[in-house]
A and B are shown apart, each in its own frame.
Chain A
Amino acid sequence: MSQTSGSDDSLYRRDPKVYPRDVTGTFASLRKLAMVVLLGLYYIVPWINWAGHQSILFDLPARKFYIFNLTFWPQDFIFLTLMLIIAGLSLFFVTAVWGRLWCGYACPQTVWTEAFLWLERLVEGDRSKRIKLDASPWNRNKILRKSAKQFLWISFALWTGFTFVGFFTPIRELGGSIANFQTGPWETFWLLFYSFATYGNAGILREQVCKYMCPYARFQSAMFDKDTLVIAYDEKRGEPRGGRRKSIVPSEQGLGDCISCTLCVQVCPTGIDIREGLQIECIACAACIDVCDQVMDKMGYDKGLISYTTEHRIGGRETHMLRPRIFVYSFLLLALVAGVIYKVNDRVLLRADLLRDRNALYRELPDNMIENVYTLKLINMDLKPHQYRIEVVDNDDMVLFISPQPSLKPEEVGNFILRMQAPASAGRGSLKVDVRFSTMEEPIIERTVSTRFLMPFK
C-alpha cells in the first residue's frame, strides 16, 4: 500500500490519501453525538429569537454583541478577554486530564470533517468502494457519484457560510436578501470565504490541518504529563503480532494478542499506526479502540488491546487524577468563572464618557466665572428608556448646564454638550471633579465619573 511520489527522481515521499473506514462502537457513537449536538447548535441557534432579538448576534455596525439575555458593548471588552482566558484555561485543564479530548470530539475541524466524510460515504460508499472508485477510469458511474458528492459538499459548505454570516447579520434578513439577490458586498464575501474554508478544510485538507497547521497539537507536551489520558496500544500484550486461526492458543505459537489485521490503521482518520507508540498525529478519536475491541471480541480475546490509558498505567504504576497542575488549573478556572459571573451581574447599565473640549482649556465669563466645555457621551445599556439626572458630587461651587436634557431610548447612545462653571475664586490650575449620572426612574442606575476642571494657573 505504500506509495512514493510519482517521479523516481524525487527524494521525498508523498503521503498516500487517507480513506478512513467507517466504524461503530461506544466512542464512535459518542463522537457522532458530539457532532450532532455541536453542529445542531451552530445551525439552529441563530434562528432562535430571545428577549426581542436574535439569541446570538454579533452586531458589528451597532457595536453590540447579543448573547441571549446579555448585551455586550465595546466597553465590555474586558469580558471578551476574560472569556478567551477561560476558554484557554479550560483547554489546558481538559488536556491535562483527558488528553486530546477536544481534538477527537469537539474541534470544528474534526466535527465538520466527520460530517463531510458522512456525505462522502453516503454517495461513494465505505473505504474499499472509495478506493476502487478513485482508481477506476472516468465513466458514467464515477462522474455521477463524484458530481453528487461535490453537489452535497458545496451545498453544505454554502449553508455553513450562510449560517456563519447569520451570526453577524440578522439571519432572517440575510435569508431574505439572499433570496432576492440583494446581499451586500461584505456579506457576500464572508459567505463565500467561510464556505470555501469549510469545503477546503473539511473536504480536501482534512487530517493535513491537524498534522501540519494546528498549533494546539504542538503545544500539547506542555500540558501532558504521565497521568494524562492517552490512547495507546498494549505492546506487552499484543506483540509479537501475526495472523492466526481463532482456535489456536497464541502463547503456544509464540504470538501476542495482535492479529495484525491492520483495521486500527484503516479506521484512523489521520492514517497512522497507533501500534508504533504515541504520535503527534493522533487526534485521540478512539476509532482504533472501537474496531480493535470488535476484533478481540470476534477472536475471543479480552478487549482493551488498544485503550484509553496513561503512561503511568502502561509502566505498571498507579495513575493519579488529582495532581498539582490539576489543582492550579481548577482553582484559576473557578476563580475566573466566578469573577466573570459576578462582574456580569454587577454591571452598571449606564456608561458616561466626558471629553474636555480640546480647542479651549477654559473660558473666562463676564461675571468672574470660569467655564469648561465637555462632550458627554452617554450610553443607555438598559432595555428600558431613561431620563438622566446629572450633578457634581460634593462641590457646591460648580454649576452644570446641559442641552438637550439627556433622555435615551433602550440601548441608545447620545452625545451632549455639557458646560461646567465655577467662580474664579474656586481654585487654581487643574481641579478634580466627580460628576454623578443617575436615572430618574426606579430602580436607580447610577455611575460617577471623574474629570478635570481647568482654571487659570495664576
Chain B
Amino acid sequence: MTTEHPVNRRWSMRQRDWAVVLWIAFLSAAAGFFVLFGLIDPLDMVSAWADEFDIGVRLAYGLAFTFLYLVCLLAAWLTMFMIRTGPVSGHVKGEGRRSIPEIKDPTQANPDLKGEDWK
C-alpha cells in the first residue's frame, strides 16, 4: 500500500480561489441574514402576487438567504476576478511587468520639430 505525499493533494490556485469565494460569500450572507432575521417579518412583506403562492415563513427566509448568498457570491467572485486579472505587478528588476515608457524632448533628436507647442 502506497501513501500519497500530502503535497500532491494540495489544491490548485483555482480550487483555492473558488473555495475562498464560496466560503466568504457564505459568511457574508449569514451575517446579512441575521440582520434581516432580526428586523423583518416575511409575513409583513408578502405582496399580492406572492400571497397567491402562500409562501410560508421558512420558505421566505430560505429564499432570502439564497438571494443574499447569490449577491455575496457575485461580489466575492468579481473581487477575485479583478485581483487575478489586474495589470501585472512584477519584480522591479525582473520580468513580468512592462517597463515604464521612455519620455524625452521631441526636439532632442528631431530638430525640425522645434518651435511647435504640439497642442
Most buried by B among A3, A5, A355: A355
Of B78, B82, B100, which one neighbours A15 at CB under 8 angstroms? Answer: B100
User: Among B12-20, B64-72, B104-112, which stretch is in contact with chain A?
Assistant: B104-112
B118 to A21, Cβ gap below 8 A?
A: yes
A213 vs B79: C-alpha distance when bound (angstroms): 10
A218 touching B81 in the complex, CB below 8 Å, given contacts A211-B87, A449-B48: yes
Q: Does A422 contact B (CB under 8 A)?
A: no
B118 to A263, Cβ gap below 8 A?
A: yes
Q: Does A298 contact B (CB under 8 A)?
A: yes
A294 to B111, Cβ gap below 8 A?
A: no
Most buried by A among B43, B101, B116: B101
Q: Does B99 contact A (CB under 8 A)?
A: yes
Q: Does B5 contact A (CB under 8 A)?
A: no
Q: Does A23 contact B (CB under 8 A)?
A: yes
Quick one: which of A275-302 are within 8 Å of B by CB? 276, 279-281, 291, 294-295, 298-299
Total number of B residues with any Cβ neighbor in A under 8 Å: 35
Quick one: which of A364-396 are within 8 Å of B by CB? 377
A262 touching B81 in the complex, CB below 8 Å, given contacts A12-B91, A211-B87, A212-B87: no
B116 to A24, Cβ gap below 8 A?
A: no
A266 to B103, Cβ gap below 8 A?
A: yes
The smallest beta-carbon distance between A441 and chain B, in angstroms, is: 25
Q: Inside 8 A of B48's CB, which chain A residues have their CB? A: 353-355, 377, 449, 451
Q: Does B9 contact A (CB under 8 A)?
A: no
In the complex, the chain B residue whose C-beta lies closest to that of A281 is: B87
Q: Inside 8 A of A259's CB, which chain B residues have their CB? A: 109-110, 113
Instruction: Tell me the A residues contacting B by CB distance below 8 Å.
Output: 1-5, 10-13, 15-16, 21-24, 126, 211-213, 215, 218, 242-246, 259-263, 265-266, 271-273, 276, 279-281, 291, 294-295, 298-299, 353-356, 358, 377, 449-452
A-B contact pairs, 15 of them (CB 8 A): A1-B102, A1-B104, A10-B92, A12-B91, A211-B86, A212-B87, A218-B85, A243-B108, A246-B112, A262-B102, A353-B47, A355-B46, A355-B47, A449-B48, A450-B52
